[in-house]
Amino acid sequence: MTQPLSRPPKKNPVARTRQPTQPPAARSRRALGLTAAAAAGRFDLQVCQECQAVQYPPREVCHQCLSDRLRWQPVAARGTLLASTTLHHSNDLYFRERLPWRIGTVMLESGPRAIAHVHGDCEVGQPVALALKLDRSGQAVMIALPPKATPNMEDDKVLRETSCDPKLRRALVTDGKSEVGMAVVQALLDAGATTVFAGDPDIWKKNQAFDALCQDPRVLPQALDVTDTDSVERLSRSIGGKVDILVNTADYARSGGILHSRDLLKAHDALNVNCLGLMRLAQHFGPAMAGRASDGVNSAVAWVNSLSIYAQLNLPARGMWSASQAAALSASQCLRNELRPAGIRVIHVFSGPIDYEWEQLTPPPRVSPAVLAKAIVRALRDGVEEAYVGDVAQEFLARMQDNPKGLERELGSQA
């Protein structure tokens, strides 16, 4: 049975922080299909469209009939653990620092055999559940898990290395005073975070719900205005070396398109919060987080950006805001690639309309802040890179894959 994690002792202030290392990251272009599936939390393998043979590892042609018609599609994520061994020596720097490490051979229910990382509660000869997870290099690995939840299952070393579980970690929520921010703070506390720094962009504005939340000794309010470089820099110098998870909930949402707007102040404000604010946070918090990406049980692990589904397709009724969301998404993709060498995961959580003050006239379905907050925690625990929250976001995802031009026209007709 997996032993529960315990709070790590205080660090020696003069001892050197362990430098980030990565597992082997070389993959073929075909194998990146596994990475795409793992990033979205799916279990997809190549399936031959001629003979239906499942391929693993990924191939250029079918191992059975030599057809090149191989399609990535969901397969049964089940198998049997045939054999396992525990490594006590490795020449690879990443694994040498994390020994002992368990691996094994799994017979997949769909046919192939695979070498997988093995959870400590799995037994040889018994059924296992399989999952594709992103490792610290951002590439997909296969993990064999117990078919049913076991005590302290998420505390296993293998899962801890391939997820961003908030348990025993410290988080910063950039706008902790908004409805979404307060929900995220509470969800992180419920998930086992030891400290949550709650950003307060408007110290002068009283909010009884926020004040009540801050009565919890684990919640530490912090003055933070993402539009003010000095504010971001001051906070980063104060707590930058303590943040393990950063959740950016700052948003400036206003109605209005482009054609009939007589000034660009609204666009400037939206970009200043949604895109430039993200850049300020990245420049001041990113380097410290990257330097602590291998710092033991409570190492820095993740950066979460809460975005709208309209970051991927413009809503003309809110054209300027949608453009600022798209700019934030582009900046976040840059940040993901810059933080990947350190092993920090950048997660995009796309939601449909949120049930709060700036969506009063938007008809249902809307996403409640609590549901969005739980989805953020779930994305952290699953270690994915993309999550879509709510009926609207899920529908738009399917329609963008099927007929993006049709969806663009339909949104335009609603302007």
Domains, the chain, in order of start with CATH, read 32-162 (no CATH), 170-413 (3.40.50.720)
- Which SS3 state, helix, strand or coil, does residue 179 take? helix
Look at residue 415 and tell me whether its pLDDT is greater than 70. no
pLDDT tens per residue, range 218-258: 999 999 999 999 999 999 999 999 999 999 999 998 888 88
Helices within 97-178 (DSSP H only): 157-162
pLDDT tens per residue, range 57-100: 999 999 999 999 999 999 999 999 999 999 999 999 999 989 99
Instruction: Identify the band that residue 15 occupies on the pLDDT scale cut at 50, 70 and 90.
Output: confident
pTM: 0.94
Q: Where are the beta strands (DSSP E) in 1-120?
A: 44-48, 54-55, 70-74, 78-87, 101-108, 113-118
Mean pLDDT for the stretch of residues 190-203? 96
- Which SS3 state, helix, strand or coil, does residue 155 take? helix
pLDDT tens per residue, range 283-330: 999 999 999 988 888 899 999 999 999 999 999 989 999 999 999 999
Contacts with 405 (C-beta within 8 Å, 6 or more apart), sequence order: none
Greater pLDDT, 11 or 190: 190
Among 339, 353, 354, smallest CA distance to 385 is for 339
Among 18, 38, 33, 25, smallest CA distance to 347 is for 38
- HSE-CB at 100 with a 13 A cutoff on CA atoms is 10
